[in-house]
Amino acid sequence: MSSNYAVTNPADGQVKAEYETISDAQLNQALDTAVEAQKQWAARPIEERAAVVKKAAQLFDERADELGHIIGKEMGKRHSEGAEEAQFSAEILNYYADNGAEFAADKKLDTPDGAAILQSRPIGVLLGIMPWNFPYYQVARFAAPNLMLGNGIVLKHAEICPESAQIIEDIFREAGLPEGVYVNVRASHDQIAEAIADNRIAGVSLTGSERAGAIVSEQAGKALKKAVLELGGSDPYIILDTEDAKKAAQDAFATRMYNTGQACDSNKRLIVMDDAYDEFVDELVRLASDMKPGDYTSDDPTVYQPLSSRGAAENLAKQMEQLKDAGATIRTGGELADGPGAYFSPAVVTDVPVGSDVYYEELFGPVLVVYRVSSDEEALELANDSRFGLGGTVFSTDTARAEAVGSRLHVGMAKINSYDTDSAALPFGGVKNSGYGRELGPVGMDEFVNKRLFYTKED
């Protein structure tokens, strides 16, 4: 067995712990156990399932500080943000525990000669493939609705997050979830491909890159399995007008720096009207230039944390070279630290040629790319010129104007005059190369579900 799973401090590149990949026999046993456990879990009343999910929410909330430290050491997330992530995971679990019975309730259908009911029933054991950037939140939004439905879960987490992955299973077990209903597996990519094809797996959910999404989608399609994909994003952040360009820049900078820019729905393309552009960019440059590297435990807003790994930082550095080669202007930052650490200085980039290869790439890190536009139509055309379609934000002092532009964005989530829409009640997902399917909100229980018709003919 190999040890691809490891905790490596991204600040210095030092390996702190290694964990063996499971054997094929262990994976086979995990699937067998999950199938039997899921049947028993699905047979329990949904109210009993809700009690377990609610207890898990309580544990996530109570242990938020500890959970924040775990992912800070694994992938470098600022501790306060990690603790908030654990608390948000608790909110998601509570949301489905409180509302799941209503979402999954039988619905009567009108019929002239019989009694028809649309039922929501579980489909079996699901495979979840989750990323490192939000180790708890990504799992919570997948697990909470499906555990409420009565599905079982086999979870393959990112190789750099073995300890946060395991503690999630431990929390569910402590909350009273029977053994096998939620199983964390340290599996290889080949083993995951085999699991997708296995008849014991009923569906697969992936949050990850475009490349991973294409592979998993193909594998799931061959096996005739339902899949939900939440992939990359290059979200437009449009400022049509503002009364304070500096404040707008400060808000945009803080948003982009969250999780050191490693979020699928981060504001990766800042589109600013020309009358505010110069002042906006100057303020971004000032803010980025004042940033300095530091430890994940720091709450100083002028301190930035390392990226998740040296490899991730090196990839972003290559993209910066591509930007330069394409003719873009690096106003400040964009420098990879010497040594084995994953520090990458926050960058402000302008003049990226629209239509260049790098223009269409996702920049997964603290890089603020700004575009100047002179009309609403130009802003909209630029915003939609992307192979991604996750989210988009429009700001204006005239709400109707912002809504008119926002209503024409080719995205799964259009936000007006607010970037902060984090709520368990609001659906999350995209279109185009950002994937398909939805998580969170009422529709989060509509993906891996048997919408069964139950019909009785009347005499």
Does residue 116 contact residue 453 with C-beta atoms inside 8 Å?
yes
Q: What's the chain look like in SS3?
A: CCCCEEEECCCCCCEEEEECCCCHHHHHHHHHHHHHHHHHHHHCCHHHHHHHHHHHHHHHHHCHHHHHHHHHHHHCCCHHHHHHHHHHHHHHHHHHHHHHHHHCCCEEECCCCEEEEEEEEECCEEEEECCCCCCCHHHHHHHHHHHHHCCEEEEECCCCCHHHHHHHHHHHHHCCCCCCCEEECCCCHHHHHHHHHCCCCCEEEEECCHHHHHHHHHHHHHCCCEEEEECCCCCEEEECCCCCHHHHHHHHHHHHHHHHHCCCCCCCEEEEEHHHHHHHHHHHHHHHHCCEECCCCCCCCCEECCCCCHHHHHHHHHHHHHHHHHCCEEEECCCECCCCCCCECCEEEECCCCCCCHHHCCCCCCEEEEEEECCHHHHHHHHHCCCEECEEEEECCCHHHHHHHHCCCCCCEEEECCCCCCCCCCCECCEECCEECCECCHHHHCCCEEEEEEEEECC
Mean pLDDT computed over 307-333: 97
Q: Does the pLDDT value for residue 396 go beyond 60?
A: yes
Nearest to 228 by CA among 238, 216, 239, 243: 216
Is residue 358 predicted with pLDDT exceeding 80? yes
At 2, the pLDDT band (50, 70, 90 cuts) reads low
Other beta carbons within 10 Å of 298: 16
Residues with Cβ within 8 Å of residue 325, at least 6 apart in sequence: none
With contact defined as beta carbons under 8 Å apart, do 153 and 130 qualify?
A: no
Q: Is the CATH code 3.40.605.10 the one for domain 5-231+434-456? A: yes
State the pLDDT confidence band at 420, using cuts at 50, 70 and 90: confident
Q: What was the pLDDT predicted at 421? A: 80
Closest CA to 387 of 438, 431, 328, 322: 431
Q: What is the pLDDT of residue 343?
A: 98
Supply the mean pLDDT for the chain: 97
Residue 302: predicted pLDDT = 97
Is the pLDDT at 49 greater than 70? The verdict is: yes
- Please check the confidence at residue 204 and state whether its pLDDT lies above 80: yes
Quick one: pLDDT band at residue 459, thresholds 50, 70, 90? Answer: confident
The residues near 158 (Cβ < 8 Å, ≥ 6 apart) are 130, 131, 132, 135, 165
Q: How far apart are CA 218 and CA 229, in angstroms?
A: 12
Reply yes or no on whether the pLDDT at 437 is more than 70: yes
Q: Where in the chain do CATH 3.40.309.10 domains reside?
A: 235-388
Predicted confidence band at 1 (pLDDT cuts at 50, 70, 90)? very low
Mean pLDDT of 323-347: 97
Predicted local distance difference test score (pLDDT) of residue 201 = 98
> Residues of CATH 3.40.605.10 domain(s) within the chain?
5-231+434-456
- Catalytic positions are 230, 264
pLDDT tens digits, residue range 83-127?
999 999 999 999 999 999 999 999 999 998 899 999 999 999 999
State the pLDDT at residue 112.
Answer: 87
Please report the pLDDT score of residue 200 as a whole number: 98
- Over range 303-318, report the average pLDDT: 98
Averaged pLDDT, 168-184? 98
Q: What are the tens digits of pLDDT across the range 369-389? A: 999 999 999 999 999 999 999
Residue 429 identity (one-letter amino acid): G
CATH architecture for segment(s) 235-388: 3-Layer(aba) Sandwich (3.40)
